[in-house]
């Protein structure tokens, strides 16, 4: 069992990365081989709409034809037995690096046929891990539920199954006094990070254990 986690945050040691590390720790406890990749270490771009992945009989049919820093990771993702993608929410969506990764990962599998069937011949469990500053009850207010549901549907349609894991009301800075951030209660943020975030990390480990067992997320 090979489980690959993709960190779409520019931070390697904060909320998103920590949850992914915990998920992989749980996966290793379940006997899986794991790997964590930080997208911000790679040099690449999003889909360039060349349609080489759609060309019947073409050498790149079903695969992204662009060759850049993302190419080796795409091959690893397509061969993985389970896939976890994590990203903070910036301006109501994934980070730009994660969005570009999603385009390059899933578009080659999508066919322009009735129902937009997926070319993926292996059904694998996947998960999306989202971190955000807003409290859980404000997710509908900002429309986050809409885009997250859409991305979950895309992953499930492409690979067969996808779990959505949300970590809300996150701790953004280690010292709120250094930044203009009066919209938040720094003490409340710190308290939640101390009391609730460890529980989110345990949930992430449970997710990893399930994936290691080959179970739908």
Q: What is the pLDDT of residues 142-198, one digit of tens each?
A: 999 999 999 999 999 999 889 999 999 999 988 888 989 888 899 999 999 999 999
**Angstrom distance (rounded) from CA 177 to CA 108:** 46
3-state secondary structure of 103: helix
Share of the chain above pLDDT 90, in %: 82
Alpha carbon 92 to its chain centroid, in Å, reads 15
Q: What is the pLDDT of residues 3-22, one digit of tens each?
A: 999 999 999 999 999 999 99
Residue 72 CB neighbour total at 10 angstroms = 12
pLDDT in the model for residue 113: 93
Residue with tokens 């280690």: 174
Helices (H) and strands (E) in the chain, counts: 7, 5
pLDDT in the model for residue 6: 97
Q: What is the mean pLDDT of the chain?
A: 93
For residues 28 and 36, the answer to whether their CB atoms sit within 8 Å is no
Domain 2-213, CATH number (from 3.10.150.10, 3.40.50.2300, 3.30.9.10, 3.40.50.360): 3.40.50.360
pLDDT in the model for residue 216: 53
Q: What is the pTM assigned to this prediction? A: 0.91
| Residues 166-199 as b or e (16 or more Cβ within 10 Å = b) | bbbbbbbeeebeeeeeeeeebeebeebbeeebee
Could you tell me which of 56, 16, 53 has the C-alpha nearest to residue 37? 16
CA dihedral 50, 56, 60, 61 (to 10 degrees): 100
Domain ranges of the chain: 2-213
Ranges of H-type helices in the chain: 15-29, 71-79, 96-106, 139-142, 144-159, 186-195, 197-212
């Amino acid at each position: 069992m090979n489980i690959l986690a993709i960190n779409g945050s520019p931070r390697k040691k904060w909320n998103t990365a920590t949850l992914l590390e915990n998920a992989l720790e749980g996966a290793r406890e379940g006997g899986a081989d794991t790997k964590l990749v930080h997208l911000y270490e790679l040099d690449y771009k999003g889909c360039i709409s060349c349609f080489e992945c759609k060309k019947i009989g073409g050498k790149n049919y079903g695969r992204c034809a662009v060759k850049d820093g993302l190419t080796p990771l795409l091959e690893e993702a397509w061969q993985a037995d389970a896939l976890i993608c994590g990203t903070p929410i910036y301006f109501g969506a994934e980070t730009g690096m994660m969005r570009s990764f999603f385009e390059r990962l899933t578009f080659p599998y999508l066919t322009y046929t009735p129902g937009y069937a997926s070319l993926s011949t292996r059904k694998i469990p996947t998960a999306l891990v989202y971190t955000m500053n807003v409290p859980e009850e404000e997710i509908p207010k900002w429309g986050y539920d809409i885009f997250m549901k859409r991305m979950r549907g895309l992953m499930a349609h492409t690979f067969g199954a996808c779990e959505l894991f949300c970590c809300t009301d996150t701790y953004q800075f280690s010292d709120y006094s250094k930044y203009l951030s009066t919209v938040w209660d720094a003490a409340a943020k710190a308290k939640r990070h101390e009391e609730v975030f460890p529980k989110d990390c345990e949930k992430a480990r449970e997710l990893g254990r399930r994936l290691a067992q080959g179970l739908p997320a």
